[in-house]
Structure 1
Amino acid sequence: MRRPRARTLGIVCVCLVLLVAGVAAGVRWARGWTGSVTVLANWSGGEKEQFERAVHAFEQEHRIDVVYQGSSALSQVLAADLAAGTQPDVAVLPGPGELMAYAAEGRLEPLDGLFDAGDYDGVWRPKVAGEDGRARTYWLPVKTGLKSMVWHAGGLSDAETAKVAGEPDGWCLGMESGATSGWPGTDWVEDILLQQAGPGVYAQWATGDLAWTDARVRRAWETWGDLVGAGDRKRAERVLKDDFGQDCPRERLEHQGSFRAADWKRVDGDFVHSAQVIPGARPDAGHWEVSGDLAALLNATDEAKELIRFLADPGTGLPDFTANKRAAAPDRHDDPVRRKIGSILRGSRQTLCWDASDTMPPVLRDAFHQAVLHFLVSPDALEDQLRRLDALRDGRGPTLPVCGGG
């Protein structure tokens, strides 16, 4: 008996997939499904699963099909879709930088009236200028992250933490992250500038009003270089190849965000504010750098608007952590570290500042990523790197309040 050829099998498989998809669509139509909404984001793994569990309830209640499109090259995919006129209904981007530019170009639909802005502190949902110059709300924070954190195995005293931090070999550091390699280094430089120079200077720099060659910015780079041993060729080669999410030995420290909470929990880890180990931190340091995944509306369909309302509902179980002040209180978490993180992110008494590179235009942000990689290898060439970055800050677009609260 002859076996079917590979091409024949392929055609049969494709037909079966189409048949299943058609049956599924028919079943949904028969049950009164009213439409669909497409969502573009870069969530994968547990975050994607948590999002899909949350929107399953939305689908069942509203009979609206949520079509999730995941991509690790989020910026490039969205830009191509917009150019082709095939943009998703809702896009979830990490940070406001690109969203501000899209709002100014008239690419985004305002969200005013779709959720209660009072549920979020101003830093999370600022009003920014649209194409007509009017200030409106153009994004909704669906997931937030805390930075300015130094993780350590639990039980270390402040003195012991400072001692480990004083040696380059005391740090876990990995720069590899595919197309965005280098961002862990930008987090370091940003955080050091925030703790050494304060929120005012930090905000000026983040929005393009302060030169990269300013002495305070240069000092932040040099401080980071001293901490992690920039210029040591063997160390630099290892750091450039190491993945940012690698396991960190418990005897070392790690300057990373709240997304690492689950990894450090395995060794009963905890964190201190980065100002405790950053040389030259101001006496009033203690401000927190933050990040966020922000949902924006590109097609104002009824289905897409309904999804935005759902995402803003304080009862929706989205990927951690939420900035919605009406959501379940952080003290309901069993994990004390998670309680602490949640309280900081939703605490109006804290000064929270956006990750600076997330507020920058993509070209400048990407150049910043590359500059930290070069700096680790050749710190003596810092001045040239800073001049190149400074040349890219011309023609900046609309800005937003970088820091808030406190």
Structure 2
Amino acid sequence: MTRRRTYTVLALCLALVAGGVVAGVWWTHRWKGAVTVLGNWTGGDRDRFRTQVLDPFEREHRIRVIYQGSSAESQVLAADVEAGTPPDVVIMPGPGELAAYAAADRLKPLDGLFDPDDYADMWAPRVAGGVHWVPVKADLKSMVWHPGALAEDDVARIARNPREWCLAMESGATSGWPGTDWVEDVLLQQAGWEVYQKWATGDLSWTDPRVREAWTTWGDLVGAGDVRRVGPALRAGFQDPWGGPEAACDDERLEHQATFVRDGEHWTAARGQYVHSRTVVPGARAGAPAWEVSADLAAMLRDTPEARALIRHLADPATAQLGFTANRSVPGGAYDDDRTTTRIDATLRGRGTMRCWDASDAMPPAMRDAFHRAVLRYLAEPRQLGEQLAVLDRVRNRQTIPWLPPVCGSG
């Protein structure tokens, strides 16, 4: 036998063995089926989702979960849908893009798969004739984090100094969203939730003086146009602006960011606490506070028994929580019993609290993406704000897909 034939036979044997191993794995687990999932969680977030949520589902239902995580989730999903090979289930941050897919009849209704009374209406509204998504993980925004050693009374005082703000805009295909969070929140605190809702649902011009004031207020707070600050801020990743080769933050004491940062290395070491953002926003309204919120939402693109089982599992109050939840049937004991956690949970799930979707997450995808780009340009060149707002208004007027229904609620 020649050496080439020997290698060929060996390769065939190895292929047969590998195939047997795969078949053996499937037989050992006695899988009843499989479900494909697309999400934006990668790295440690993906691992926690796998360990805490998906592995228990697989053990209980004998359904294999094939998960794909991507920081360019929107682009991956659009390509898969166009090719006719969408995932069974998608988990996306925010409802705007999902509302567009629902309007195009791409999403399957989730009616009957979970109890909508477990959620305030804003979290799981009826869109395109049915409920098309369910929150998997919720985050509270409108928060300014500060070291625990810094008195709350001092936060507003030092907030007027741009050098006190940690600022990081880089997020791959979605770079800029920490800046859109800022502009949205300033508008919410200065103009109130009614004006915010008109703007977030496409009924208020980007050139409105109240919208423009929100931009300039943010720019003044963080030092827009200051090349010493803007360059590092544009390059630094939002997940860890305090470390790594592109670190933008060092001794800054304030950060405008959502609940997820409290578990990061920096704010854990600093024993981070938070105040409501209206504490630092010039011209903020008095009265009951309004909060921005966001969530990762699960939707179904292919109606299969396996996909339905996974949606039920994700909405089940007994399923492990990856962070905070909007599900009112999840017992309070699901979280660590500390004061900060209790405050955040009460704000996300309590009745009578005004909560508004992160506006960019609620906007049609083209509007959202233009908003992301505009904040990056504004940071670098604030004198061109008028031109940027005019561009954004043209994008608003070109939208043909339905905007999300009301984005605020206190139920």
Give the alignment's TM-score, normalised by structure 1.
Answer: 0.92
Structure 1 residue 178, shift from structure 2 partner: 1.7
Give the one of 372, 378, 383 matched to 1:380: 383
Which secondary structure does the structure 2 equivalent of 1:353 belong to?
strand
Question: Does 2:202 match 1:208?
Answer: yes
**Structure 1 residues 278 and 305, CA gap change in structure 2 (3 angstroms):** same
Q: Which amino acid aligns with 2:353?
A: Q
Runs of 5+ unmatched residues, structure 2 = 243-248
- Tell me how far apart the structure 2 counterparts of residues 17 and 260 of structure 1 sit (CA, whole Å): 46
**1:175-324 maps to which residues of 2 (within 5 A)?**
175-245=169-239, 246-247=241-242, 248-249=249-250, 251-263=252-264, 264-284=267-287, 286-324=289-327
- Tell me how far apart the structure 1 counterparts of residues 150 and 15 of structure 2 sit (CA, whole Å): 55
**Structure 1 residues 25 and 15, CA gap change in structure 2 (3 angstroms):** same
Which secondary structure does the structure 2 equivalent of 1:392 belong to?
helix
Q: Which amino acid aligns with 1:403?
A: C
Structure 1 residue 30, shift from structure 2 partner: 5.1
**Structure 1 residues 290 and 227, CA gap change in structure 2 (3 angstroms):** same
**Structure 1 residues 138 and 17, CA gap change in structure 2 (3 angstroms):** farther
Q: Which amino acid aligns with 1:215?
A: P
Structure 1 residue 182, shift from structure 2 partner: 1.1
- Tell me how far apart the structure 2 counterparts of residues 376 and 301 of structure 1 sit (CA, whole Å): 46
Corresponding residue of 1:58? 57
- Please tell me the root mean square deviation across aligned C-alpha atoms, in Å: 2.3
Q: Which amino acid aligns with 2:134?
A: L
Q: Is the 8 A contact 1:176 1:240 kept in 2?
A: yes
**Structure 1 residues 84 and 332, CA gap change in structure 2 (3 angstroms):** closer
- Tell me how far apart the structure 2 counterparts of residues 18 and 220 of structure 1 sit (CA, whole Å): 64
Q: Is the 8 A contact 1:51 1:318 kept in 2?
A: no
Which secondary structure does the structure 2 equivalent of 1:27 belong to?
helix
Deviations 1:40-62 (A, max 9, x none): 00112332122112221111111
Q: Which shows bigger deviation, 182-191 or 356-365?
A: 356-365
Structure 1 residue 392, shift from structure 2 partner: 0.4
Aligned residues: 394
**1:7-406 maps to which residues of 2 (within 5 A)?**
20=18, 23-29=21-27, 31-53=29-51, 54-129=53-128, 135-245=129-239, 246-247=241-242, 248-249=249-250, 251-263=252-264, 264-284=267-287, 286-329=289-332, 332-394=335-397, 395-398=399-402, 399-405=404-410
Give the alignment's TM-score, normalised by structure 2.
Answer: 0.91
Q: Which amino acid aligns with 1:295?
A: A
Which secondary structure does the structure 2 equivalent of 1:367 belong to?
helix
- Tell me how far apart the structure 2 counterparts of residues 168 and 18 of structure 1 sit (CA, whole Å): 64
- Tell me how far apart the structure 2 counterparts of residues 18 and 78 of structure 1 sit (CA, whole Å): 34
Which secondary structure does the structure 1 equivalent of 2:271 belong to?
coil
Identity of aligned residues (%): 57
Deviations 1:81-131 (A, max 9, x none): 0011100000001100111111111100000001111111111101012xx
Structure 1 residue 335, shift from structure 2 partner: 3.6
Which secondary structure does the structure 1 equivalent of 2:328 belong to?
coil
Which secondary structure does the structure 2 equivalent of 1:145 belong to?
strand
Structure 1 residue 350, shift from structure 2 partner: 1.1
- Tell me how far apart the structure 2 counterparts of residues 21 and 187 of structure 1 sit (CA, whole Å): 49
Which secondary structure does the structure 2 equivalent of 1:291 belong to?
strand
